[in-house]
Amino acid sequence: MSDSRLFRLLYLLLEHKHMTAGELAARLEVSTRTIYRDVDALSQAGVPIYATQGKGGGVALMDHYTLDRAAFTEEEQAQLLTALRSMPDSLGGPEVVTKLAALFRPSQPDWLQVELTPWQSQWPQGDFTFYKNAILARHVLTFTYISAYSAAQPRRVLPVRLVFKSRAWYLQGWCLEKSAWRTFRLSRMLEVQDTGETAQPPGPPPDIETGFGSQEVTPITLRFSPAMAYRVYDEFDPKDIQREEDGALLVSVPFPIDGWLYGYLLSFGAGVEVLEPEYLKQQLALLGREIYRANAEPDRLCQVFPDILDPST
């Protein structure tokens, strides 16, 4: 007797509620006599399964039979509930979790919660249901995209997959203008519209690591002040961090040198120093000087930041 066949029989009954012995035999590719033997075996194992003869008869499970005895171990139940708790509310996460938790009757404590929305805001563009429906229906989306390399541009994209990567949500899709796979950060997608137009992708999308890895990267070395330690340990791998005697932190990592990187480094203010490469250091200094020229009010800055900024220099 095949244990896998017994589980498949249970899955079929959980899905269809009631099936004839002939239907089960056809689906499992065995004889009806084997189906009845399987029913007896499951019944002896404590599964509330029964078979009835005659017109309208067949095989069924008792109405209150639950999944925890049919398909999942206790560990698998906990893993499934944990995964569902990480889903956005608009995917029905809490409602589904509540129903499954009641169905599974878990005995373990609720030891983990995963929350993917940022502290300062909620989901950036509507909700997941909009994107989920567009992906499943194969509907083309139009939107204006703000990229790091150019001004806002209109896009027509067939969405295929949502991806959470490094504290941000991305949409992978087939760009109809470029006839190529593209990855878009959701927070930069403006005026998103579902056209209702349907299309088919040429195949599955590439792994998101492949898409991001297509950019040329350069090794850079940074020194962060001790005051930036909280961000350094939040945003870099510990193996890339070296602490100096004065508490400063050295970080050596590869990065694509583009507009995003300059903005990222500027977000550390005076708390970061570029050690290598030299041209990145020079360009960042020029950007800092331009920021000063655009925003400086010498009298006010002298009063507020006398030890940081000297307008005479």
What residues does 168 pair with on adjacent strands? 165
- List where CATH 3.30.70 sits in the chain: 218-304
Distances (CA, A) of 98 to 64, 77, 88, 101, 106: 17, 13, 14, 5, 11
- List where CATH 2.30.30 sits in the chain: 128-212
> Closest by alpha carbon to 159, among 186, 141, 185, 142?
141
- CA distance linking residue 91 with residue 99, whole number of Å: 14
Q: What is the pLDDT along the chain (313 residues), one digit of tens a residue?
A: 565 677 778 778 877 778 888 888 888 888 888 888 888 877 777 778 888 877 777 888 876 665 544 455 666 666 655 555 555 555 555 555 555 555 555 555 555 555 555 554 445 445 677 888 899 899 999 999 987 666 788 999 999 988 877 667 888 999 998 889 988 888 888 899 999 999 988 888 877 654 454 557 789 999 999 999 999 998 888 899 999 999 999 999 988 887 778 888 999 988 999 999 999 999 999 988 888 888 876 555 444 444 444 444 4
What residues does 142 pair with on adjacent strands? 156, 193
Total-model pTM: 0.50
Angle at 160 (CA atoms; ends 72, 85), nearest 5 degrees:
35
Could you give the angle at which helices 21-28 and 32-44 cross, rounded to 10 degrees? 100
Topology, domain 128-212: SH3 type barrels. (2.30.30)
- List where CATH 1.10.10.10 sits in the chain: 3-68
CATH 3.60.70.12: does it fit domain 3-68? no
Q: Per CATH, the architecture of 218-304 is what?
A: 2-Layer Sandwich (3.30)
